[in-house]
Structure 1
């Protein structure tokens, strides 16, 4: 059996090494058009600042090492330029020469390429880069050695934010431009606001709802669509990637969404002898069963291993992906899994949403930090659609748990039952994931009703009254502009001040005390809803709508 793999890194090399472990006598050839067949592309931004000290640390394996250990014929700097499906051959270029190789099975792991927009003046500009490979990094580092002062990062997604952080740590003045109305577009607006505030606190100038319309002065002046001009000695384009499917398309292999390669549940393309994995393929969003693109390393590694199993005669199915991701942005971490609220609404799922605040470990143990967790779920069955979390520590653990719950088919009713490790340095007896489950059950069963942060203003305009149950000293941190104040511990004694003919929305700092107030008032005959996320969330999104130093 002879297997040819086009493209290395995550998907291709996972397939190659698994194939060897299952088939000692198979002939395995890997063509990689670049010089490095196995490198840590997710680590590239961290070498810019020196956090990853040496370039060599990014090289996971060499061609020689792979050949010695796995007896794989790895050919860097070999670009496959044509597939002859009828005769089961590939044509490749190497050192300005053309060669031919036959195959029994062909695996395409061609990845994705950075999107480079056609912007006026870009073709005459210098010092504009993308970051996807080691050679890309080398070009950026060459420019960094010239001691640039001003950098512009176009695109505030995961990679854009990582690049911006590392450029700041390198000592550059950084501007961040994003076409969407927020940074981190995969997150919902209110969760992304925590990251945007963190970015601006590090003196990065953020331009959202903006795009670059022109490069002037050979790229040293960048014109935004709002007319502002930015100076730049170094510009990084990080506006997304697109499937690298040109080779497949030339061979007549079927493609679909954004030119992604269409594969079945066995990763077979429209040609039964040709398989495809990684960033180049269309996958099923496991929750909605809709076609999507998820260019992440973990799915690519899994797909590479699975396709090797399938070719080797083992039964494996491509179950799809839910898209779990994480990013560190200076002192905060943002992570998400599954659907965000925006997408869930677009596909018309019957959703409920909640926000809770908890601690990364026991609050009484030193150095406890906040975790802001958002959960999106079916408003009746409790099926979990997605989650997002922001915090300094422990965010990865919570999102990983919820991602596992989604993959395992658990509902919010199962979250309180999860027995998670607990000791004061590591967690809480009731973990934020447990608490999110309790809160979700309360909403489903009608024990609690909520108002979202974006609904508050309309609800108040309809005549509802906002009741703030925080303590007196907490008001120094800001107050809602139209509210009445009764501390929770005084509520039973002062309940006579409230009018049962009125409808109330109750808030505290995080939502826990306001839930208690909601229960007290409802059982005394009042119509009450809880402001989801409470003051802490609202302040983060709308600081200018609050009143400060009123008391």
Structure 2
């Protein structure tokens, strides 16, 4: 059986390893357009400020390991340009040699990930303007942060934008963060985002909301960021305004995609074309709470979907059960956690909902060094089913957001939260966990 996988990072290599484990006679070819395989993209911001010493530290397995230990034909600098679905052929080009190639497949996995959104702004090609998606991006950015770089501008207040604002600030840089909308971190509701904005300002981040970048100016290197309301001097720019699925290379096929370009898949990771599967950031992710296909590109989901795709390709029928939209971010002294639906999402889906918010201590009040948590629960007004939660604080956020994620996965009601047997000791919790206190109040 000839397996071809497009993409050699999280989903692609999870699938490749599952195929090798399941089908002893498998011939697996992986086509990676870059030079690096199987690395943790979520760790890249921490390489920039030296918390993680090197890009080598986030590589799980090298190209040579896949080739020599597992017998995978792991290719690099191979850019796929098209797919002939009738003849089951992948076309592409080897970018180092400029040689074109064609490969036949029995089963194909598209795990091509996402690309950073880079608008066609004036001056976008100036030196000193960076994105952060690959190990090459990381090395280039780290090399560019010299002592001469003092003023750094981060454009975009999402995951990477927040993490990179912190990273630059800990390097002693003066950081501006420009956000087009009226709040940071739009995966949170505005009332919770205010806590994030307060933290940014307290750490001397120059926060600029409600301004849209229109371009850049400078001689050979960026010197000024221009917006619809003014201009700002800068020595370096980190562009982080979102990503889009890397799926343009098979636009001539009839594979079904959503409005963002993500490939629709079923629970077995099958696409609308026979013998073609998709997984990871380029695919859709069934959302258990929304009960529809969504697109929330995260490393955890990519690894799960990749494993399930590989198993199904090799004849072991596994199913992907879905996501509930869980994520967590470290931002200076705060941890920002969310799962399920926000108020905005519940409104958009016309779900009758109620909200409960509370400030609580992260552990017993009499035990030293406790801090406040801000918790927001969203639940169905009629059925009392949990719909989502957002938690921001210094300690204990991860514990409680995972409790909520598990409750959402199991479609629990607010009342059922009170029955959970959660861990208690004064250094970690009160006798009643804040989530259960809120549930009792509701």
TM superposition score normalised by structure 2: 0.96
User: Does residue 224 of structure 1 match 2:224?
Assistant: no
4+ residue stretches of structure 1 with deviation over 3 A? none
Match in the other structure for 1:448: none
- Structure 1 residues 200-226: Cα deviation after superposition (integer angstroms, max 9, x where no partner): 111111011111122122431112222
Match in the other structure for 1:52: 52
Match in the other structure for 1:292: 294
CA distance in 1, matches of 2:100, 2:264: 28
C-alpha displacement at 1:326, in angstroms? Answer: 0.7
Match in the other structure for 2:4: 4
CA distance in 2, matches of 1:61, 1:425: 38
**What is the 5 A alignment of 1:485-524?**
none
C-alpha displacement at 1:370, in angstroms? Answer: 1.3
Deviates more, 1:65-74 or 1:183-192: 65-74
- Structure 1 residues 435-455: Cα deviation after superposition (integer angstroms, max 9, x where no partner): 122122xxxxxxxxxxxxxxx
State the SS of the aligned residue for 1:423: coil
CA distance in 2, matches of 1:351, 1:205: 36
Considering only aligned residues, what root-mean-square deviation do their CA atoms show, in Å? 1.5
**What is the 5 A alignment of 1:118-133?**
118-123=120-125, 125-133=126-134
CA distance in 1, matches of 2:47, 2:395: 23
- Structure 1 residues 102-157: Cα deviation after superposition (integer angstroms, max 9, x where no partner): 2110000010100011223324x221111000111111112113530100000001
C-alpha displacement at 1:67, in angstroms? Answer: 2.8
TM superposition score normalised by structure 1: 0.77
State the SS of the aligned residue for 1:358: strand
Count of residues in Structure 1 that have an aligned counterpart in Structure 2: 438
**What is the 5 A alignment of 1:18-417?**
18-94=18-94, 95-123=97-125, 125-145=126-146, 147-218=148-219, 219-227=222-230, 229-417=231-419
Instruction: Check the 8 A contact 2:112/2:247 in 1, yes or no.
Output: yes
- Structure 1 residues 13-48: Cα deviation after superposition (integer angstroms, max 9, x where no partner): 111111111122211111111010111110101111
CA distance in 1, matches of 2:272, 2:147: 49
CA distance in 2, matches of 1:433, 1:375: 9
**What is the 5 A alignment of 1:522-533?**
none
Instruction: Check the 8 A contact 2:375/2:389 in 1, yes or no.
Output: yes
**What is the 5 A alignment of 1:401-480?**
401-440=403-442
CA distance in 2, matches of 1:247, 1:439: 53
* Runs of at least 5 residues in structure 1 that lack an aligned partner in the other structure: 441-551
- Structure 1 residues 393-451: Cα deviation after superposition (integer angstroms, max 9, x where no partner): 110110011001000111111101111111122222211121122122xxxxxxxxxxx
- Structure 1 residues 261-286: Cα deviation after superposition (integer angstroms, max 9, x where no partner): 12223221121111001111123332
Instruction: Check the 8 A contact 1:384/1:412 in 2, yes or no.
Output: yes
CA distance in 1, matches of 2:341, 2:245: 21
Instruction: Check the 8 A contact 2:55/2:138 in 1, yes or no.
Output: no
C-alpha displacement at 1:179, in angstroms? Answer: 1.1
CA distance in 1, matches of 2:377, 2:244: 29
